[in-house]
Amino acid sequence: MPLDSTHSLNISQSHGGAWQAEILKRETTNRWITYSGTIRDNLFLDASRAGLDNHVTMNLVNIFAWDIDFARNLRQGDRFSVLLNELFDHQGKRIGSTILAAEFVNQGKRYRAIRFTDPKGDSAYFSPDGKSLRKNYLKAPVKFTRISSRFSLARMHPILGYTRAHRGVDYAAPTGTPIHAIGAGRITFRGWRHGYGNFIIIRHRNRHNSTAYGHMSRFAKGQHKGSWVKQGQVIGFVGMTGLATGPHLHFEFRIDGRAINPLLIKRIPARPIPKKLWASFQRQSRPRLLAIEQSRQHREVAWQ
Ligand SMILES: [Zn+2]
């Protein structure tokens, strides 16, 4: 009896009449396969023509999200190659895939990413010289329609009617739009705060930086004060609680408690490959980069 794609349950009766059950791991095979394509119409269409499903394409977008603006800067003639580790069950059905390496040539500039799994089993993507492709902070906490108010030390408050500092940025977005933590950290405040409505403060890993998110319609389930959140994790949803004339996210970035203009934060790269893991990184990255190189000649490589 199959349990999932890689395990089955086997129940049998021995000669003595006793029943026994065992879980068998069924055979799976994996193969490295590269896919290459050129942008002619749009990324998802051209990626699917090259043989990639939308899920893989979405992962590809996420891997290069800090370097390439896929919404605005993609051009006809941009090229991509993706090396996948594909997992098949005993019947030859594909049951999973992971991007091991990828290359994207955007407007003539080449970007490369290699997946590295550290001894603890955590995986992330790096450039061939070991720099992390992630940044410590996301560019913005919401997919916004426009910035409705900028950081200013003196602006006319739309509801209060007098001039006061606006210590953050307002991102206009429809009610219910997910709000993402821009960096990993711990929730140090989650509740109602006058003016801000439903409000969250996150203290980030270096302990000096914190971010604040206001006017939420509601908070994400399963989190509370003291919870750890990952970068990009949804913490709540856009609304207009507190003093707000329309649905938007009021967002602040604070260093040692002092608000600075969030639009001026330099997006700091996450940690590179540490020296002691360099040899291990080389061992993982070399064959993967080679496979990507070979795919340029539109050859398929299939290794065990
Ligand atoms: Zn605001």
Check residues 192 and 137 and name the one with the higher pLDDT: 192
Mean pLDDT for 46-73 is: 91
Ligand 1 midpoint to CA 36 (Å):
44
Strands (E), 56-121: 79-88, 94-106, 109-117
Which pLDDT score is estimated for 277? 97
Residues with CB under 5 A from ligand 1 (ion): 170, 250
Ligand 1 midpoint to CA 224 (Å):
23
pTM of the entire structure? 0.68
- Percentage of the chain modeled with pLDDT above 90: 62
- Given a cut of 70, is residue 303 above it in pLDDT? no
Which pLDDT score is estimated for 298? 52
- Confidence bin at 5 (pLDDT 50/70/90): low
Within the chain, all domains assigned CATH 3.10.450.350 are found at 29-134+274-295
Ligand 1 midpoint to CA 170 (Å):
5
- Given a cut of 60, is residue 199 above it in pLDDT? yes
- Given a cut of 50, is residue 132 above it in pLDDT? yes
Indicate the CATH number of 146-264 among 2.160.10.10, 2.70.70.10, 3.40.50.300, 2.40.50.140: 2.70.70.10
Residues, the chain, total?
304
Indicate the CATH number of 29-134+274-295 among 3.40.50.300, 3.40.50.1360, 3.10.450.350, 3.40.605.10: 3.10.450.350
Ligand 1 midpoint to CA 152 (Å):
10
Residues 6+ apart with CB under 8 A from 196: 212, 214, 215, 242, 250
Residue 142, CA distances (Å) to 152, 248, 272 in order: 20, 10, 27
- Given a cut of 90, is residue 40 above it in pLDDT? yes
Mean pLDDT for 115-128 is: 94
Within the chain, all domains assigned CATH 2.70.70.10 are found at 146-264
